[in-house]
């Protein structure tokens, strides 16, 4: 099983419908779209599966996530830069999502590189290499988006 996108209609037909009562599935998904521009496949699966089979746990997960990820003392950009650094130092693939979120929250290329430099101190060249790759991919994506919108 890879990380390709899931056919959520098939998932719903097998396990049932989303059952959380505090927020709709669409509202939960929109929070991720606002943050990174789309709903990452693993998150989409967690929202759909846990939101159906254990909706109270999903609500708690999302509350803890929001509480930890958005403390009053940090703006979204700062929080996302820190999460990017932590995940990058650990070479976790979610680093790319949080790098994207940091850029969407206003992080500059210089700030992104500073995060890669932090991660390098604790993760070595693999973190530096992966960080540079993530920044290059973001730059490419943003450049293509700008070129596409200019047409």
Share of the chain above pLDDT 70, in %: 97
Question: Residue 8: pLDDT band by 50, 70, 90 thresholds?
Answer: confident
91, 92, 95, 97: CA torsion to nearest 10: 150
| Mean pLDDT calculated for residue range 90-101 | 97
Q: Does domain 73-151 have CATH number 1.10.3470.10?
A: no
Res. 54: pLDDT tops 70 = yes
CB-based burial of residue 71 (10 Å sphere; 0-12 exposed, 13-18 middle, 19+ buried)? exposed
Here the tokens at position 38 are 């789309």
Res. 148: pLDDT tops 90 = no
Domain boundaries, the chain: 1-69, 73-151
Element (H, E) at 71: none
Question: Residue 151: pLDDT band by 50, 70, 90 thresholds?
Answer: low
Tens-digit pLDDT profile for residues 12-29: 888 888 887 788 889 999
């Amino acid at each position: 099983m890879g990380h390709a996108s899931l056919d959520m209609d098939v998932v719903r037909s097998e396990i049932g419908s989303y059952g959380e009562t505090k927020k709709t599935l669409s509202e939960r998904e929109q929070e991720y779209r606002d943050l990174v521009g789309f709903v990452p496949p693993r998150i989409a699966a967690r929202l759909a599966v846990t939101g159906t089979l254990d909706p109270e746990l999903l609500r708690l997960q999302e509350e803890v996530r929001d509480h930890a990820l958005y403390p009053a003392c940090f703006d979204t950009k700062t929080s996302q830069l820190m999460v990017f650094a932590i995940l990058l130092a650990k070479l976790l693939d979610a680093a790319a999502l949080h790098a994207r979120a940091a850029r969407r929250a206003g992080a500059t290329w210089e700030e992104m590189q500073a995060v890669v430099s932090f991660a390098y101190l604790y993760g070595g060249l693999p973190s530096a290499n992966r960080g540079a790759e993530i920044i290059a991919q973001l730059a490419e994506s943003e450049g293509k988006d700008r070129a596409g919108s200019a047409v």
